[in-house]
Structure 1
Amino acid sequence: MHATSLDNLAIELAKNRALGTISGLAFAGIVSRQEADEIQLAALEAYNSDVRGYALAGTSVASQRVLGLHEPIFGPITSRDFFHEDCRIHLPQGVIGAQCELAFIVGNSYPDRHEIVDLETAGEIIVACRPTIGLLGRRAFGARHSDVSAVADFGLHVATICGPAVRADWEKLDQIQLTARINGQTLVTAKGSAVLGHPLRAVALLARELAMQGRQIAAGDIVTTGSWSPILQVLPGQTLSVEIETIGKISCSFD
């Protein structure tokens, strides 16, 4: 994609995200994952918001099917789109649905140069966990859904809503259960093992991807795991509640 076209696409993505709108955008011109990453970074700069961390998507088989992904992707969690428990959010155009997930708070930059990236080293940097709801959506209509278009489109991230932070035994996170309810009715249950076999593998995967770009997860960042369950449709007037055993609860209402 020509540099001017790349910049224009990034500006339009940022505009749509700021306004909560969708439009026809030239995703078909993106020819590589590298271009998609460049568009994401340029769109983030145009959106003009600090980064609080990273949201992963497509880390479970069930969520990949809904999102049309072949592998996990990630996008920035911005300060403008980061919320705390029991909030109310207006659903913008293009919303796909909600992720029921876990967020990790990172204590140290990761990975250091030449550091081995695996479950053990990832576990060493985690200082707390938070039950989390993530909203996913698109800023374009009519585009063919693909991994590169999803990456360019802020990694499909719309909003992240986190509950209270607690310390947890990371080695057992694959064994604990998540329960999601809409307006008090249980819709789905899932275990942490649905995410790449273990939720902490999401952090390791992100660290490797960023390292290939010469970047790191920063100390203080929040990293979400991606959905443990299928992506849930949410509608105005509904309240989604997520409970993760031994971790806690989070809820969010939608307009």
Structure 2
Amino acid sequence: MYFELKDKTADVLARCRRREQLCDRPLDLISSQDAAYGIQAIAEDLLGFERKGFALVGSSEPSRRILGLTKPVFSEIPASALIVGVKQFGLPPGAIGAQGEFVFRILRPFPEAGEAIDRASVASAVLGCHPAIGILGRRTRQSFVGNNAAIVDFGLHVATLCGPCADAIDLDRLADIEVNVFLFGDTVFAGSATSILGHPLEAVVWLANELSARGKQLKPSDFVATGSCTTILQVLPGQHLAADFGPLGQVDCIFS
């Protein structure tokens, strides 16, 4: 893809995200992961948003199957798309669905110089954990599949809706949590924290490795959304969705 095509794609996607519009831009011409993340970074810079952390998508096998991914992808989270305590959310055009996920708050720079990137070191860098509902969507009318198309389209991230932070939770026991999702009060599906790469903290391990390979690190007060521990549920305006994370708490939202 020529440089001008990369810049034009980033510009179109940034405008569509800002205006909550869809475009006809083809995303199947992107030949490499590096090019895809490069376009994503240009689009994020064009948006000029305050950055609050990172969102993973495709961290569980069921979500990858639904989204046409072969591995997880990530994007930065705009401040306007990280919402704590929301009770109503307007679905934009191109919305794919909602998922139950964990959101970690980072305490310190991670990894520090020479620090190993593993579950134990990640646990020492986490300040707290939120139950959350992740909203996924596209900025294109056509549903392009594949890792590179998803990366360019802001990792398919729309918003992260967080419940209250649990700062006294035993991080080692997160894998024991079963998540139940309710639509209008009826259980529609259940999920397990272990579906996220075996343990929710492994999502942060994966992300930290990806960032480190690019010469970056997590910063204090960053939020990391782990990706789905449940299937991705199509949601419509007027529906009330709630997710119960057991000892971690609950989060719910009415969509409009």
Tell me the TM-score normalised to structure 2 length: 0.97
Query: Which sits farther off after the overlay, 198-207 or 240-249?
Result: 240-249
* C-alpha deviation, 1:83, in angstroms: 1.0
In structure 2, what is the equivalent of residue 107 of structure 1? 107
Which secondary structure state, in structure 1, belongs to the residue aligned with residue 151 of structure 2?
helix
Alignment of 1:66-85 (within 5 A): 66-85=66-85
Paired residues of 1:178 and 1:244 also in contact (CA < 8 A): yes
Paired residues of 1:27 and 1:143 also in contact (CA < 8 A): no
Which secondary structure state, in structure 1, belongs to the residue aligned with residue 36 of structure 2?
helix
Which secondary structure state, in structure 2, belongs to the residue aligned with residue 246 of structure 1?
helix
In structure 2, what is the equivalent of residue 230 of structure 1? 231
* C-alpha deviation, 1:24, in angstroms: 1.0
Alignment of 1:74-153 (within 5 A): 74-142=74-142, 144-153=144-153
In structure 1, what is the equivalent of residue 34 of structure 2? 34
Structure 1: tracts of 5 or more residues without a match: none
* C-alpha deviation, 1:208, in angstroms: 0.3
In structure 2, what is the equivalent of residue 7 of structure 1? 7
- The answer to whether residue 189 in structure 2 is matched with residue 188 in structure 1 is yes
* C-alpha deviation, 1:4, in angstroms: 1.4
Q: Using the alignment, how far apart are the partners of 1:158 and 1:182 within structure 2?
A: 20
Q: Alignment identity in percent?
A: 36
Q: Can you list the C-alpha shifts for 1:98-129, whole angstroms capped at 9, x where unaligned? A: 11011000001111233211110011101101
* C-alpha deviation, 1:142, in angstroms: 2.7
Q: Using the alignment, how far apart are the partners of 1:97 and 1:116 within structure 2?
A: 35
Q: Give the total of aligned pairs.
A: 255
Q: Which amino acid counterpart does residue 251 of structure 2 have in structure 1?
A: I
Q: Using the alignment, how far apart are the partners of 1:157 and 1:203 within structure 2?
A: 17
Q: Using the alignment, how far apart are the partners of 1:245 and 1:126 within structure 2?
A: 20
Which secondary structure state, in structure 2, belongs to the residue aligned with residue 200 of structure 1?
helix
Q: Which amino acid counterpart does residue 41 of structure 2 have in structure 1?
A: L
Q: Can you list the C-alpha shifts for 1:146-186, whole angstroms capped at 9, x where unaligned? A: 10110111010000111111121111111111111111111
Q: Which amino acid counterpart does residue 227 of structure 2 have in structure 1?
A: G
In structure 1, what is the equivalent of residue 166 of structure 2? 166
In structure 2, what is the equivalent of residue 254 of structure 1? 255
Q: Can you list the C-alpha shifts for 1:195-245, whole angstroms capped at 9, x where unaligned? A: 111010000000000011111111100101111011011100011111111
Alignment of 1:50-65 (within 5 A): 50-65=50-65
Q: Which amino acid counterpart does residue 163 of structure 1 have in structure 2?
A: G
Q: Using the alignment, how far apart are the partners of 2:90 and 2:38 within structure 1?
A: 29
Paired residues of 2:179 and 2:246 also in contact (CA < 8 A): yes
* C-alpha deviation, 1:78, in angstroms: 0.6
Paired residues of 1:85 and 1:252 also in contact (CA < 8 A): no
Which secondary structure state, in structure 1, belongs to the residue aligned with residue 227 of structure 2?
coil
Q: Using the alignment, how far apart are the partners of 1:215 and 1:35 within structure 2?
A: 17
Tell me the TM-score normalised to structure 1 length: 0.97
- The answer to whether residue 242 in structure 2 is matched with residue 241 in structure 1 is yes
* C-alpha deviation, 1:143, in angstroms: 5.2
Query: Where in structure 1 do 4 or more consecutive aligned residues deviate above 6 Å?
Result: none
Shift in alpha-carbon separation, 1:229–1:143, aligned structure 2, 3 A: closer
RMSD between aligned residues: 1.1
